[in-house]
Amino acid sequence: MTDACILTLPQIEAMAFSALTAAGTSEANARPLARAVAAAERDGIASHGLMYVPTYCSHVACGKVDGRAEPALSRPRPGTVRVDAKTGFAHPAIDLGFSALTASARESGIACLAVHNSYNCGALGYHVERLAEAGLVGLGFTNSPASIAPAGGTKAVFGTNPFALSVPGETGPTITIDQSASVVAKSEVMKRARRGEAIPDGWALDPNGQPTTDPDAALKGTMAPLGGYKGVGLALLTEVMAAALTGAMLGVDASPFSGTEGGPPRTGQFFLAISPDATSGGAFAERIARIVDVVEEQEGARLPGSGRHAARRKADADGIAVDAQIVEAVRKLASGSA
């Protein structure tokens, strides 16, 4: 990053909040989204930070997302929470469901939250870490517009479809897995396309199913699945969990998260919250501590999530470096001069 602004977490949140509300998002919907944007910057996940705010704002303006939607919660069965995001942002819909989800998981040992008529939920690990902070094992799935072809095919059917797991430790989340079914998140290709930069070999395929380093060709083609056909299996798993089980739109039928065409994507999120005390006979903390110890005693080895946790500590100590051009663009949106 050549020119950067050093910002605090509250400054980033306030900037994102002002831009979102200036675009027509209600304060109730803007606050949880702005909080997640700031958290992404703190964790070093710039692709879901302030960089995405102009897209959020343009999608409010064009109607791809309803910035003033009021999500609705229902309880169809014991241990089951369902939220209709009403084509609004995913974050307030997830927020609405999490209180009931955590209470139900503590009471029953396990509970689920199904969100439909939703939108891009940003970094999925952010949401499951909140469950781990509450002492629960959190498992999440979110589907996205089609960008991965099935094994043997060239036409996209499944989204990059991330899943995430966060495991509680003595002082909060100790292990966090957050990965897509593709080699890399599509937002990383979009970021390089905006900058006019080539992408590495192995990230994506062009419309003819051939490997490409051209991000524009990649965006017209498909994302490379992680581990070949096994990545396609992960994408299908998430499609079942986040779309079929929630009643959300399948990735192949959803409008893109990028651009302004196509109306609301109506995708979904699915979360499982598990109380470890209910299932482990009291052995959970010991088993997790053992996993952590045997990994960390190896020189150079690291646990999933350790990178974001290290970035978080550095940000808290030194401030958060954000590309100056992105900061300027969001400030213009916040002032209404963009």
In the prediction, which pLDDT does 191 show?
A: 83
User: Could you tell me the residue ranges of all domains in the chain?
Assistant: 73-171+227-304
pLDDT beyond 80 at 278 = yes
CA 146/CA 220 separation, integer angstroms = 12
CA–CA distance, 67 with 268 (Å, rounded to integer): 17
Please report the pLDDT score of residue 187 as a whole number: 80
Percent of the chain at pLDDT above 90?
A: 92
- Is the confidence at residue 96, as pLDDT, over 60? yes
DSSP calls for 273-331: EE-HHHHHTT-HHHHHHHHHHHHHTSTT---TTHHHHHHHHHHHHH-EEEEHHHHHHHH
Range 53-67 average pLDDT: 97
The answer to whether residue 337 scores a pLDDT higher than 80 is no
Measured N-to-C along each axis, helices 53-62 and 9-22 cross at an angle, to the nearest 10 degrees, of: 20
What single-letter amino acid sits at 64?
A: K
Q: How many whole angstroms from its chain centre is CA 130?
A: 13
Which of the following is catalytic: 41, 129, 188, 239?
Answer: 188
Query: Is 299 assigned a catalytic role?
Result: no
Does domain 73-171+227-304 fall under CATH 3.40.190.10? My reply is no
Spatial distance between the Cα atoms of 29 and 202, rounded to a whole number of angstroms: 37
Q: Is the pLDDT of residue 223 over 80?
A: yes
Residues with Cβ within 8 Å of residue 16, at least 6 apart in sequence: 30, 33, 34, 37, 38, 50, 53, 330
Q: What pTM did the predictor assign? A: 0.94
Q: Give mean pLDDT, residues 241-263.
A: 96
Q: What is the pLDDT of residue 171?
A: 86
Q: Is 188 a catalytic residue?
A: yes
pLDDT at 13 over 70: yes
- Residue 108 catalytic? no
Name the catalytic one among 26, 47, 58, 255. 47
Which of the following is catalytic: 13, 18, 41, 48? 48
Lay out the sheet containing 172-179: strands in order across: 72-77, 80-84, 110-118, 267-274, 137-142, 163-169, 172-179
Judge contact between 148 and 157, C-beta under 8 A: yes
Q: Which residue has the higher pLDDT, 154 or 248?
A: 248
Residue 111: the pLDDT is 98
At residue 2, the pLDDT reads 60
